[in-house]
Amino acid sequence: MRSNILGVFFTILSGVLIALIVIAYGRSDRIAPEFRFSAVDLIYDSETKDDDLKIGINAYDAKDGDLTSRIVVEKVVLNKEAETAVVYYAVADHSGNVTKQSRVFPADIEDIEDNGDSSDIIEDEEYPALTFGNDVAQEASTEASSEEETGED
């Protein structure tokens, strides 16, 4: 008899917990924020900073309101042929919903190549996924400086 009472109690308790979980899930914020872009006259070059890229973009969420201060620039991809820079943005609301968008700017490729903007990925027709980071340049300069110190050629 006692085991039947415990069985009924745990069954009712399980039902109540399931109902609470369903209610909590139904009330949770599952709507991602949205971006709003306005026109900007910007040419991407070696002097362009992330803050410059955030001008003319706002983010809003139905529950959290203005999320513009939470916008991040994920990456910038340069296209040499089209002379453009594709900027990828992301923003997350306080519930963890994430929205990602991209925007295209004209780019001064010659300036970027001359001044070495290493933070960007430059698409190449022949090897589109191949990028060279600062590690290669740093290794080369380290080797050159060690050769100078030892007098080797």
What number is the average pLDDT over the span 15-26?
89
Q: Is the pLDDT of residue 135 over 50?
A: no
Give the chain's radius of gyration (CA, Å).
27
pLDDT at 129 over 90: no
The overall pTM is greater than 0.85: no
Per DSSP, the residues of 37-93 read E------B-TT--HHHHTTTEEEEETTTEE-GGG-EEEEEEEETTTTEEEEEEEEE-
pLDDT recorded at residue 64: 87
Higher per-residue pLDDT: 153 or 15: 15
* pLDDT at residue number 3: 77
Instruction: Answer yes or no: is pLDDT of 24 > 50.
Output: yes
Q: Does domain 34-150 have CATH number 2.60.40.10?
A: yes
Average of pLDDT values for 63-72?
92
**What are the boundaries of each domain within the chain?**
1-30, 34-150
Check whether 85 has a pLDDT greater than 70: yes
Q: How sure is the predictor about 124, in pLDDT bands with cuts at 50, 70 and 90?
A: low
